[in-house]
Amino acid sequence: MRLKRRDFLAATAALAAFPGNTLAAKAPAFHKDFLWGASTSAYQIEGALDADGRGPSVWDTFTAQGHIQDGSTAAQACQHYTRYREDVALMKAAHFNAYRFSIAWPRVQPQGTGPANAKGLDFYDRLVDELLRAGIRPLACLYHWDMPQALQDQGGWQSRAMTGPFADYARAVAARLGDRVKDWMMLNEPNVVAIFGHGLREHAPGLGLGEMGVLRALHHQNLAQGAALRAIRAEHGDCRLGTVTSVQPCRPETSSDADRAAAIRWDAVWNRVAVDGLLRGAVPDVLAERMAPIIQPGDLAAIRFPIDLLGLNYYSPNTMRHAPGQMFEVGWGRAPTDRFTAMGWPVQPDGLYEVLMEFKNLYGNPATFVAENGAAYDDALSADGQVHDPERIRYLADHIAEVRRALADGANVTGYLAWSLLDNFEWAFGLSKRFGLVRVDYDSQKRIPKDSYRWFADFIQKARQS
Ligand code: IFM
């Protein structure tokens, strides 16, 4: 797709009065190397599920079982597998200097183990070269939820036995791309995988195993991650290693002891098992007893690793209440805001400041970056053929302002990547929820940059020039 410069400038001018632009005027707070761009994931955008020897993943199975709310599939999604050049051109036109994508394990090892499938890796090879030609730094994530079905059949993350295969996979990918990819993220949101796919049945593999299922899946992902980090570090001394997790401040709905305890419990499950394991080799106190039967001698040392970069995905805080009978006895209360996205998620940008400062104050200020932040809204295509999405612009501007506030207060934040470049396959919601800066017409596959894309591009340009 070629963006017509005339259209781009006209639309940018139309946005000049938008309040977020006062933020752009303050852009100097972002240093020159700050990473600006967007994140995506393989299953959500690539399509081409049968191409070049790819094997089935748990999401293919979950979709075939009829769990996708709008009945759609990821078979086409954004056809990024064949249209990646057009998508990289969109990134370049928006002045991105970074892009996080994920690598599909079932493309690299169709059965999850064994020799790497060269054709599957070829795609990422081409993508990385295209990004580098465009001056965009590739941040590769090894696992964004698409576990090979063959490994799921052997227990998936319920089993400790995934550690070896994941490390082998990491080694194979880094061997092929490590000469050009210098930023490696291991997992994306292990907490979401464990909670929604293992504890509940809302995501693949849809196990519904409750609390112990969640904790096992978290612990085994932690172990696999530790092994993969060491495998890459052993052979690629010059790269930055890290991972990505979802962080949500857990605030009690009321000041009752029961709600406060629920918030602490959920904070432990959602935020701490992954982060404390990796950064401290520890398990949260409130979960220690429950996790004891899962943890073997040496595990915590194997999980802990001195990473270089931690990706934080932030969308909203959780307002927690005590809910007897529910998993971990927690439920969701009403958030104190009247702003909600089309996912029903509350818009509370101050939560982003809170988590960024928490990493500064409680974890020794590691280098972090916002690896996902964005919003789904019920975008409409206007009569002028454009998508006017002021709510998304406001969402982005408000959250970037919180990043800026955290930076001013000393947090070591090194980048901000929006979720997402394109509308895409939003897991169990299918194609019905649109998070993109760029609209995708799924029938024609036409890309239509939204107002938010132009706003973000303009913002980045100013931030990078100052
Ligand atoms: O689409 C997802 C992404 O895959 C992981 N983080 C949250 C996004 C929005 O739900």
Whether residue 91 is contained in a domain is answered as yes
Whether residue 1 is contained in a domain is answered as no
Whether residue 293 is contained in a domain is answered as yes
Query: Could you list the residue range(s) of the whole structural domain that residue 335 is in?
Result: 32-379+410-446
Whether residue 194 is contained in a domain is answered as yes
CA of 150 to the centre of ligand 1 (A): 24
Instruction: Say which of 354, 372, 402, 426 is annotated catalytic.
Output: 372
Query: Is 289 marked active-site?
Result: no
Whether residue 458 is contained in a domain is answered as no
pTM to 2 decimal places: 0.95
Whether residue 13 is contained in a domain is answered as no
CATH number reported for the structural domain that contains residue 258 in this entry: 3.20.20.80
Query: Is 189 marked active-site?
Result: yes
Query: Which residue's alpha carbon is nearest to atom 1 within ligand 1?
Result: 426
Q: How many domains does the chain have?
A: 1
Whether residue 17 is contained in a domain is answered as no
Instruction: Say which of 189, 253, 354, 426 is annotated catalytic.
Output: 189
Q: With a 6 A CB cut-off, is 146 part of the ligand 1 pocket?
A: no
pLDDT at 6: 47
Q: With a 6 A CB cut-off, is 419 part of the ligand 1 pocket?
A: yes
pLDDT at 199: 98
pLDDT at 14: 47
CA of 8 to the centre of ligand 1 (A): 28
Q: What is the mean pLDDT of each run of 10 residues along the chain (466 residues)?
A: 45 48 57 97 99 98 98 98 99 98 99 98 98 98 99 98 98 98 98 98 98 99 99 97 98 98 98 98 98 98 98 98 98 97 98 98 98 98 98 98 97 98 99 98 98 98 92
Report how far residue 187's alpha carbon sits from residue 181's, in angstroms, rounded to the nearest whole number. 16
Whether residue 77 is contained in a domain is answered as yes
